[in-house]
Amino acid sequence: MRAIAVLWIDFVREIRWCWEESERLPRMKTTSSIDLSSCVIHQKLQMLAICIERKKSLNRKKDTDDAHKEKTSNSMAPDKIRKGSAGVVPSMMLINTFQEMHAPYTQDAPLMTEDMHEERLHAAEAFGNAVGLSGQLERDILSSDMSAFKAANPDAAFEDFIRWHSPGDWVSEDKSDGNPTWPPKGRLSQRMSEHGNMWRKIWNDAPALPVSEQKSLLDSVREGEKVVHYLETLRPQQLLEQMVCTAFKSSADILNKTTYGGFKLMKTKMDQLYATMVSTLRSLQGKSDTSDLAGDLKRLCQVFEHIEKLLIFAASVHRKLDAPRLAQSIFTDYFNYYLPKMGTSLESICYEKEFTTKEKVGTLEREAVSSLFRPPTANQSWRKVLSMGNLLNGHEPIQREIVFSVLEKLSNGHYSSPTPLCTDEQIETHRMYICGTSNDLWIALSVTSWD
C-alpha cells in the first residue's frame, strides 16, 4: 500500500503541473463527454482534460475578442448586427419580420461525473427540493439558449424561439406544401399559453448575447481545481478499490469479446459472471474488514478461472469445428462434465477421468470432422523424416551438436599400470564429435593410445 501511495503522489504532482501549465494530459483523449461507465478517477481525468482545453480556448478568445468586436461594429449597422449564427433554418421565417430564421450556436449542458450526480442527489434529499436543484440547471441552460437565439435573430419573438427549440409546443395551422409562408400561421400550445409561464418569463429576462459573450455553464477553472483537489485528497484505500474494480471489469470485457459461437450455456455463464462481479465489488465499498475483503476477491477469482476454462473450450470448438449443431452438442457435454467441479478451485480439481463424448455425425457434418484430420503434405512428411526430435518451442534447431565419449578405468584395464599406486581414476579413451545442419555434416573422432 505504501508503494502505491508513493506512486500516486508522483502521478498527482504531474497532473497538477499539466493543469497549471494548460498542457494536455498524456494518453488522455479530449472528448466532449464523460464516460460514466468508467471508474470515478477516469471520469475525473476526462473532466480535467476538458477543463484544460476550455481554459486554453478562453485564453485564446481574450486575445481576439477586442479586434473582432471592433471589426464587426465598423462593418455593419447597429440595427442589423447578427451574432452567433450557425446558419439559416430551412423553411422557417420569423413571425414579425420577413426574415429567415437563423439557428444559433449554443452551449453544451454542463458535464458532471458520477460523484457530482450523487452530490446533487444527496443535496436534494437533504434540503427536500430535488425539483428545485434540477430546475435551476434547466433554467440556466434555457436562458443561455434564448440569449443565443436572440443574438442570432435580433427581431425574433418568443413564438419564434418555441418553433425552433420546442416544435411540439407550436400548433401549426399552415397547410402549404412545405414551402415557407409569411407570416407563419399557428399558435402556442396550452402549456406555453398559460399565464405566468416560466419560459416566457425567462425569455423576457434573457439578454441578446451570443455564446462567445455568455458566461460558461461550466466553470472550467473551478471544476478543474476541484478535480485536482479530489485526486490530491484521495485515500489509498479508495484508490485501491477503484483499481481492483477496474481490473476485474477489464478482465470480464476481454473474456466477453472472445468469439465462442453464441453457445447458450456459455452466454448464460457470462451473464452470471457480470452479475456476480457487480454484487461482489459493490459490497467492497466501505468495507474495513480485510479478511472478508480477501475472501470475497478470492472467490471472485475462482469464478473467473472457471469461466475462462469453459470459454477456452467453447472458443476452440467453435473455431475448429465448422458444424454448429455438433459443436453445440460437444460443448453441452463438456459443460455438464465440468459443472460439478465449478464449486472448487482449479488446484483441487481431479482430472483423472478425462472428458469423452460420443456424438452422432450427420452426413453434412462428416466433411467438417474429417477436415480436422487432414493427411500430411509431401513437404510435411519429408520434414518429419528429417526431423530428429527435441524441438525447441516447436521449431527445429538450425544446427545440432552431438558428442560421444568412452571412459575407462586406469586400474585393471588395457591402459593400467602394473604399479600398486594405480587408482580407480578414469580417462577418456574415445571421443566423437558430430555437428550437423540441414545441408552439412561434420564428424571428428579421437582415440587415446598408450605407448
Identify the weakest region by mean pLDDT among 15-19, 40-44, 153-157, 168-172.
168-172
Q: Kindly tell me if the per-residue pLDDT of 402 is higher than 80.
A: yes
Per-residue pLDDT band for 422 (boundaries 50, 70, 90) equals: low
pLDDT at position 18, please? 92
CB 62 within 8 A of CB 124: no
Taking residues 144-148, report their average pLDDT.
90
Taking residues 360-377, report their average pLDDT.
80
Quote the mean pLDDT of the chain.
80
Higher pLDDT, 214 or 182: 214
Per-residue pLDDT band for 171 (boundaries 50, 70, 90) equals: confident
Per-residue pLDDT band for 433 (boundaries 50, 70, 90) equals: very high
Higher pLDDT, 344 or 152: 152
Taking residues 405-419, report their average pLDDT.
66
pLDDT at position 227, please? 93
The percentage of residues in the chain with a pLDDT greater than 70, rounded to a whole number, is 79
Q: Kindly tell me if the per-residue pLDDT of 13 is higher than 90.
A: yes
Q: What is the pTM of this model?
A: 0.62
Per-residue pLDDT band for 353 (boundaries 50, 70, 90) equals: low
Domain residue ranges of the chain, discontinuous segments joined by + = 2-221, 235-370, 388-447
Identify the weakest region by mean pLDDT among 27-41, 67-81, 87-101, 403-417.
67-81
Q: Kindly tell me if the per-residue pLDDT of 173 is higher than 70.
A: yes
> Residue 247: exposed, middle, or buried by beta-carbon count in 10 A (0-12, 13-18, 19+)?
exposed
Higher pLDDT, 53 or 377: 53
Residues 335 and 318: their CA atoms lie apart, in Å, by 14
**pLDDT tens digits, one per residue of 226-274:** 999 999 998 888 888 888 888 999 999 999 998 888 888 899 989 989 9
pLDDT at position 439, please? 80
pLDDT at position 79, please? 46
> What interhelical angle do 290-320 and 236-256 show, nearest 10?
20
Taking residues 432-437, report their average pLDDT.
90
Q: Kindly tell me if the per-residue pLDDT of 177 is higher than 70.
A: no
Contacts of 324 (CB under 8 A, 6+ apart): 261
Q: Kindly tell me if the per-residue pLDDT of 150 is higher than 50.
A: yes
Per-residue pLDDT band for 44 (boundaries 50, 70, 90) equals: very high
Q: Kindly tell me if the per-residue pLDDT of 73 is higher than 80.
A: no
Distance of CA 373 to the CA centre of its chain: 40
Q: Kindly tell me if the per-residue pLDDT of 216 is higher than 50.
A: yes
3-state secondary structure the chain: CHHHHHHHHHHHHHHHHHHHCCCCCCCCCCCCCCCCCCCHHHHHHHHHHHHHHHHHHHHHHHHHHHHHHHHHHHHCCHHHCCCCEEEEEEEEECCCCCCEEEEECCCCCCCCCHHHHHHHHHHHHHHCCHHHHHHHHHHHHHHHHHHHHHHHCCCCCHHHHHHHHCHHHEEECCCCCCCCCCCCCEEECHHHHCCCCHHHHHHHHCCCCCHHHCCCCCCHHHHHHHHHHHHHCCCHHHHHHHHHHHHHHHHHHHHHCCCCCCCHHHHHHHHHHHHHHHHHHHHHCCCCCHHHHHHHHHHHHHHHHHHHHHHHHHHHHHHHCCCHHHHHHHHHHHHHHHHHHHHCCHHHCCCCCCCCCCCCCCCCCHHHHHHHHCCCCHHHHHHHHHCCCCCECCECCCCEEEEEEEEEECCCCCCCCCCCCCCCCEEEEEEEEEEECCCCEEEEEEECCCC
3-state secondary structure 211-243: HHHCCCCCCHHHHHHHHHHHHHCCCHHHHHHHH
Q: Kindly tell me if the per-residue pLDDT of 122 is higher than 70.
A: yes
Angstrom CA distances, 84 to 109, 139, 167, stand at: 18, 21, 21
Higher pLDDT, 124 or 311: 311
- Single-letter amino acid, residue 16: R
CB 217 within 8 A of CB 141: yes
Taking residues 392-410, report their average pLDDT.
81
pLDDT at position 432, please? 94
Using alpha carbons, select from 140, 81, 59 the residue that is nearest to residue 106.
140
Q: Kindly tell me if the per-residue pLDDT of 78 is higher than 50.
A: no
Q: Kindly tell me if the per-residue pLDDT of 35 is higher than 70.
A: yes
CB 249 within 8 A of CB 273: no
**pLDDT tens digits, one per residue of 178-206:** 565 667 777 888 888 888 788 888 888 88
| Residue 128, phi-psi category: left (phi > 0), alpha (psi -120 to 50), beta (remainder) | left
Identify the weakest region by mean pLDDT among 273-287, 332-346, 373-387.
373-387
Higher pLDDT, 73 or 83: 83
Distance in Å from the first CA to the final CA of the chain: 75
